[in-house]
Structure 1
Amino acid sequence: MILLSFDIEEFDMPFEYGKTISFEDQLSVSTEGTLRILALLKQHQVKATFYCTANYALNKPDIIAEIVKDGHEIASHGYYHSDFKVEHLRQSKEALENLTSQKVTGYRMARMMPVDEKEIYAAGYMYNSSINPTYLPGRYNNLHRPRTWFYQDQVLQLPSSVTPFVRFPLFWLTFHNLPMVLIKWMCQQTYRKDGYLNLYFHPWEFTDLDQPARFNFPGYVVKNSGEAFVKRINNLIIWGKSKNYIFATTQEFIQKNNK
């Protein structure tokens, strides 16, 4: 299975690069990208998982309703993207369940940061997808963690996919900066080894990020953003379907593997 997932949050990344952005603009950028994602998924009749912050969802209930209407899974991305308290685990789950009238079983910590699995379990989640099992200076050092899914403290852990050789991350920045032919080759090698791919992106990647005065992002972030990124993910989906790979929500994958 190919598990496409999208982290919907208030777009606060410009703050990391010394820029300010109003809350209204944060919501607007994320919404613009989400609508492009939904159109692309609908075009290919593909289902995915959307990890949403409660803060975004409560301010954009119409977008959440559209995601649910299209048959996608809603999971939690915390209450706020730049603030975390343990009580947010349960609070975000409850807020999303109230909005969607569906059970929320999955969690992903903002920026893939560590989180206490015992607290994840206590808050009522079935799975956690908050591990990038690779080494990235200044961000992750998870070479000691399992590369594929495993259980910890009664919670299923679903790390982001990395290649079986050298643990090269198949995450969002990879899809911006490497040639698609190389990306698809690495995805194929990983799929053959693991039997699935767990890929994550953000709606704001599907908007024009090459605005230095507004965002101040480095070149490796803005490369192939906006329409170019829509085309890249479109290319990925067409390739996956040509290989007869099944696209599914994370919950569908877990149900299959828990049988």
Structure 2
Amino acid sequence: MILLSFDIEEFDMPFEYNKELSFPEQLAVSTEGTNKILNILKQAGVKATFYCTANYAQHKPEVINDIIAQGHEVASHGYYHSDFKPEHLIQSKLKLEELTGKPVIGYRMARMMPVDEKEIEKAGYVYNSSINPTWLPGRYNNFSKPRRWFYYQNVLQLPSSVSPLIRFPLFWLSFHNLPMGLLKWFSKTTHRKDGYLNLYFHPWEFTDLNKPEKYGFPGYVTKNTGDAFVKRLTDFIAWAQSKGYVFDRTDNFVKKIQIESEK
């Protein structure tokens, strides 16, 4: 099984590179990318999970409605992307449930940063997908964390997928920079070992990021963005389907784990 997920947020990444972007522009970039993602998924007949900030969802309820109407899962990505308080866990959950009319059972911390699992449980989440179980310089070192799903503090942990042995991360930057043949080989090897893949992306990757004066991003971020990334993800999904891999929402995968655990 392959779990595709997308972090729908206000596009604040330029701030990390000392650039400014107005809030309406942040929303516009994320919305442009989200609409492209929805089209890719619709054309492929694939369902996925969208981790949304409550801040984005409040300002773009029509996009959230489209996500729900097309059969995808909405999970929480916090209240704001660049600000976090423990109370945001329950507040974002309640706001997203109000906007979607659906239960919100999953959480992903912005930028895959650490989060108190006791607070996650207290807020009523069933699963947390906030761990990238690898080492990224200047960001995190999670070599001590399990690669596959596990329970901690009564919450199911769903780390993003990394390859066996060397723990090469199969995350968004890998999809931009690796040759597709190598990426597919890593994906096949990891799926054979783990039985599933948990992959995550952002809507702004599907827009043109090659704007150095505006965003200030390095080449490894801007490579294969916009239409090139639409083509890459479309190609990856088609390849996976041709190999017999099944795509599903994260909440459905979690339910299967719960059923197996109860046997």
Residue 174 (structure 2) pairs with residue 174 (structure 1): yes
In 2, the alpha carbon distance for the partners of 1:253 and 1:59 equals: 30
In 1, the alpha carbon distance for the partners of 2:255 and 2:245 equals: 17
In 1, the alpha carbon distance for the partners of 2:93 and 2:144 equals: 29
1:238 aligns to what? 238
Residue 93 of structure 1: how far off its partner (Å): 0.2
2:53 aligns to what? 53
TM-score of the pair, normalised by structure 1: 1.00
2:119 aligns to what? 119
Residue 14 (structure 2) pairs with residue 14 (structure 1): yes
Instruction: Tell me the number of residue pairs that the alignment of Structure 1 and Structure 2 aligns.
Output: 259
In 1, the alpha carbon distance for the partners of 2:195 and 2:18 equals: 41
CA-to-partner distance for each residue in 1:202-257, whole Å, 9 max, x for gaps? 00000000001110100000000000000000011001101111100000101111
In 2, the alpha carbon distance for the partners of 1:234 and 1:256 equals: 27
**Which AA in structure 1 matches 2:230?**
V
Alignment RMSD (CA, Å): 0.4
2:30 aligns to what? 30
In 2, the alpha carbon distance for the partners of 1:257 and 1:242 equals: 25
CA-to-partner distance for each residue in 1:32-60, whole Å, 9 max, x for gaps? 00000000000011000000000000000
1:221 aligns to what? 221
In 2, the alpha carbon distance for the partners of 1:165 and 1:209 equals: 33
**Which AA in structure 1 matches 2:249?**
T
Counterparts of 1:79-158 in structure 2 under 5 Å?
A: 79-158=79-158
SS at match of 1:11: coil
**Which AA in structure 2 matches 1:183?**
L
Residue 204 (structure 2) pairs with residue 204 (structure 1): yes
**Which AA in structure 2 matches 1:255?**
K
SS at match of 1:51: strand
SS at match of 1:258: helix
CA-to-partner distance for each residue in 1:169-208, whole Å, 9 max, x for gaps? 0000000001000000000000000000000000000000
**Which AA in structure 1 matches 2:176?**
H
What runs of 5+ residues in structure 1 fail to find an aligned partner? none
SS at match of 2:111: helix
**Which AA in structure 2 matches 1:121?**
E
Residue 258 of structure 1: how far off its partner (Å): 1.3
1:247 aligns to what? 247
CA-to-partner distance for each residue in 1:55-84, whole Å, 9 max, x for gaps? 000000000000000000000000000000
Residue 165 of structure 1: how far off its partner (Å): 2.2
2:66 aligns to what? 66
In 1, the alpha carbon distance for the partners of 2:155 and 2:251 equals: 13
In 1, the alpha carbon distance for the partners of 2:30 and 2:127 equals: 25
SS at match of 1:244: coil
2:41 aligns to what? 41
SS at match of 1:7: strand
In 2, the alpha carbon distance for the partners of 1:243 and 1:156 equals: 28
SS at match of 1:238: helix
In 2, the alpha carbon distance for the partners of 1:222 and 1:48 equals: 24
Residue 22 of structure 1: how far off its partner (Å): 0.1
TM-score of the pair, normalised by structure 2: 0.98
Residue 140 of structure 1: how far off its partner (Å): 1.4
**Which AA in structure 2 matches 1:225?**
T
**Which AA in structure 2 matches 1:124?**
G
**Which AA in structure 2 matches 1:167?**
R
